[in-house]
Amino acid sequence: MKFKVSVIGAGNVGATTAQRIFEKKYADVVLVDVVEDMPQGKALDILESGPVLGTDSKITGSNGYEETANSDVVIITAGIARKPGMSRDDLLLTNMKIVGSVTKEVVKHSPESIIIVVSNPLDAMVQHAYNISGFDSKRVIGMAGILDTARFSTFIAEELDVSVESVNAYVLGGHGDTMVPVIGATNVGGVPVEKMIEKNKLESIVQRTRDGGAEIVALLKTGSAFYAPSAAIVQMVEAILLDKKQILPCAVLLNGEYGFNDVYAGVPVKLGAEGIEEVIEVDLNTEEQNALSKSVDSVIELLEIMAKNANS
């Protein structure tokens, strides 16, 4: 029996994620969106690639949640992008309502599922989904660290003209301007990156990583990144469905790890069939720990805004 994965939100990120999972052959996919006929059209287009790709997986488009019932993994990409003139708080509160309503449907139809949240602002949205779901925190996970780490690794590999497979790196903290690329834990072929790239250049790579999403938005003019984000989501899905016990940076609820409690932030975790099976604590120097604290504080600010508006 194949696994079942539902993707909520059939925009570029959601549809590309659905396509990538369909092509893996081990899961049937349901693609959900509120726009009438759009997810059905995208799902049919993807389904018709099956004979070419040699996959008998099924993919279904829907405007409701009945077809998602009993999903093993549900991926939430639904939400709006920030528009000109829209404040960060406006974006936060709009997506809070969307993610909250989606999460209620997920719980209703797939109470045993693992939820992966991709909607922005990521860390606040995954914490909101956790609060609404009532699930164990190990089954509500945010995707951001894999994407940020992939960008960091890409820029390092380009600078050194080496394979990306030779780069080992982690980016921790919130998904935004305060993310923390951990230089001390980054090596290339086992050699510390600080010995291979001079300090100023390394600092510019760190900043480019933090600006990674904005750089793509500026180039596209309309829309935002979706190829790399969808690849990052699928790496998480595969680690869960195939019980890989893979160590990956994900947004998880911290309960004392790294000195934080009851807040979601990006850290390395062991990801397997149960969801988060272990939080991995990387040694951080004082500068990195302070940067992580600043990053977590920025997440807490968003949570406070959400709490205030939820009670108003």
Q: Is 255 helix (H, G, I), strand (E, B) or coil?
A: strand
Which helix H or strand E contains 6, and what residues bound it?
Answer: strand 3-8
> Which one from 175, 179, 251, 252 is the annotated catalytic residue?
175
User: CA nearest 30: which of 78, 64, 54?
Assistant: 64
Distances (CA, A) of 12 to 8, 45, 89, 130: 12, 14, 24, 24
pLDDT per position as a tens digit, 116-175: 999 999 999 999 999 999 999 999 999 999 999 999 999 999 999 999 999 999 999 988
- Strand pairing of 73-76 and 3-8? parallel
Cβ neighbourhood burial of 216 (10 Å; 0-12, 13-18, 19+):
middle
Distances (CA, A) of 184 to 40, 48, 169: 47, 47, 9
pLDDT per position as a tens digit, 97-113: 999 999 999 999 999 99
Q: What is the number of residues in the chain?
A: 312
Share of the chain above pLDDT 90, in %: 90
User: CA nearest 267: which of 193, 113, 255?
Assistant: 255
User: CA nearest 14: which of 94, 86, 68?
Assistant: 68
Look up 175 and say whether it is catalytic: yes
Distances (CA, A) of 229 to 135, 164, 174, 186, 258: 24, 17, 16, 21, 26
Mean pLDDT of the chain: 95
> What is the pLDDT averaged over residues 169-193?
94
Share of the chain above pLDDT 70, in %: 97
pLDDT per position as a tens digit, 4-13: 999 999 999 9
Domains and CATH numbers, the chain: 3-142 (3.40.50.720), 145-307 (3.90.110.10)
Under DSSP, the state recorded for 160 is H
- More reliable by pLDDT, 291 or 223: 291
pLDDT per position as a tens digit, 282-309: 999 999 999 999 999 999 999 999 998 8
| Residue showing tokens 């602002």 | 121
